[in-house]
């Protein structure tokens, strides 16, 4: 029988471009195109870290883009093909506009919470679906729904 544990020689790194949409929870009900690229490093069976560049898109109130770092906890299922996990960390963003309502200017430090699922098609290719919440202290929280192909190496 195959072990449920991740093999020590399985790839520990992953690179993934992603695209999706952003919904602002307080000021604009439109779905705005969002995109980015993420690097993931597996630290063990249950833990990984990610570093991502994210562009949330432009909804006429703000246009944030920046770096997201997350610590992930998760596990593999279905013969190590399905991965489920939750992550959290800081988001250091630059806002293109000065926010008219809140007065926040260019640089923003926010929280970033995510839940994701990945399905591995073969040894090197996975597709990931992620829901993330940007948590701000100034009434501009957003939800980001994204999907992308990930290459493991």
Q: What 3 state SS string does 58-90 have?
A: CCCCCCEEEEEEEEEEEEEECCCCEEEEEEEEE
pLDDT for 135: 95
Cβ distance 114 to 146 under 8 Å?
Answer: no
pLDDT for 138: 79
Q: Give the model's confidence band at 7: pLDDT under 50 very low, under 70 low, under 90 confident, else very high.
A: low
pLDDT for 103: 63
Q: Which residue has the higher pLDDT, 97 or 11?
A: 11
pLDDT (average), residues 132-143: 90
Average pLDDT value over all residues in the chain: 89
Q: Which residue has the higher pLDDT, 108 or 66?
A: 66
pLDDT (average), residues 98-104: 61
Q: Which residue has the higher pLDDT, 8 or 71?
A: 71
pLDDT for 102: 61
Q: Give the model's confidence band at 2: pLDDT under 50 very low, under 70 low, under 90 confident, else very high.
A: very low
């Amino acid at each position: 029988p195959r072990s449920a544990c991740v093999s020590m020689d399985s790839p520990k790194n992953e690179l993934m471009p992603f695209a999706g949409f952003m919904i602002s929870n307080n000021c604009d009900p439109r779905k705005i195109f969002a995109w980015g690229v993420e690097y993931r490093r597996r630290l063990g069976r249950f833990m990984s870290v990610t570093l991502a560049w994210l562009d949330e898109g432009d909804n006429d109130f703000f246009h944030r883009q920046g770096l997201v770092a997350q610590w992930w906890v998760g596990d593999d299922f279905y013969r190590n093909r399905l991965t489920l996990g939750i992550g959290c960390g800081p988001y250091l963003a630059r806002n293109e506009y000065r926010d008219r309502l809140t007065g926040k200017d260019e640089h923003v430090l926010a929280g970033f919470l995510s839940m994701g699922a990945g399905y591995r098609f073969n040894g090197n290719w996975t597709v990931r679906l992620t829901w993330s919440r940007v948590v701000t202290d100034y009434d501009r929280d957003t939800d980001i729904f994204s999907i992308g192909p990930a290459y493991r190496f």
